[in-house]
Structure 1
Amino acid sequence: MIVLIDGDCALCVGLIEWLGKRIPADKLTAENISIVPGESDWGAELLQAAAITDFDSVVVIRDGLVLQESNAVLALSDVLPRRWHVLATMARIIPRPWRDALYRYVAQHRISWFGRKEMCALESPIASVTYGPRGKLTRPKDRG
């Protein structure tokens, strides 16, 4: 799973830090989850390959599928303990247009509500599966 985030949004970086505290250690590997700022070289390459021209906060690429908006956030439950899968399943009962409308509303206001925070400021276990500061990333050679 590759998670593209807005690398200078405090809410997005906070989400990654929150995940880092909850993902079981055996799943917290670069093979299971990679966090990539959308503004980085590798992030831009992934977004272009996925034909995403209007990147806004979180995109998940998993098994060749590109997930956006609420589906992207709910897909993150795949690397979390079982209780989060149950919560995500319950959230999927809400019609997607409603979930996406809420997602877009929060995304539109996230900087004014939460401010900015650099991706490179991560200080959690998730930092081991991220690739450095925003804007300075290139696709790791071992990723292909």
Structure 2
Amino acid sequence: MIVVFDAECLLCSAWVQFLLRHDKRRVFRFASMQQAAGRRLLAEAGLEVDRLETLLLVTEHGAYRYTSAIFRVLHQLGWPWRLAWMAWVVPAPIRDPLYRWLARNRYRWFGRRATCFVPDAGDAERFLDE
């Protein structure tokens, strides 16, 4: 499974750091949208880098975005993160606009890096194009 994320976004980088800490089975790999592999995966999913309002999760079964991607990621982390599936009862037409609103404001509220997120040496092999 590959998580495509915005490596300049402080919130997105914090999410990746959270996943690195809690992904004990090491099922996730990562690609930043600023790198060629991330851009390619976004293009294959029909997403544009310039107006990206989601992270992208690419699995063997397809590509997921918005809250669907978040729930699938948290499910893979196991207990207690799987409890997030309880929020699945909230319909996607309500969940996803809230997600996109947060994504549109991520730089203003959480900040932006001048340079892209760089993983620790022990995690570097989990990043595409790094």
- Report the identity percentage: 26
Structure 2 residue aligned with 1:39, among 17, 34, 45? 34
Gaps in structure 2 of 5+ consecutive residues: none
* C-alpha spacing 1:98/1:119, structure 2 compared with 1 (3 Å): same
Which structure's relative contact order is higher, taking Cα pairs within 8 Å and 6+ residues apart?
1
The 1:38/1:82 distance shift into structure 2, 3 A limit, reads same
Asked if residue 69 in structure 1 is aligned to residue 36 in structure 2, the reply is: no
Which residue in the other structure is 2:94 paired with?
A: 98
Opposite residue 46 of structure 2, the aligned amino acid is A
Among candidates 62, 83, 87, match of residue 80 of structure 2: 83
Deviation (angstroms), 1:82: 2.2
Count of residues in Structure 1 that have an aligned counterpart in Structure 2:
126
Equivalent runs, 1:1-144 vs 2, <5 Å: 1-24=1-24, 27-28=25-26, 32-53=27-48, 54-85=51-82, 87-117=83-113, 118-120=116-118, 122-123=119-120, 126-131=123-128, 137=129
Structure 1 runs of 4+ aligned residues shifted over 3 Å read: 122-128
SS in 1 for 2:53: coil
Q: TM-score scaled to structure 1, two decimals?
A: 0.77
**TM-score between the two structures when normalised by the length of structure 2:** 0.85
Q: One-letter code of the match for 2:61?
A: G
Q: 1:107 to 1:125 in 2, by over 3 A?
A: farther
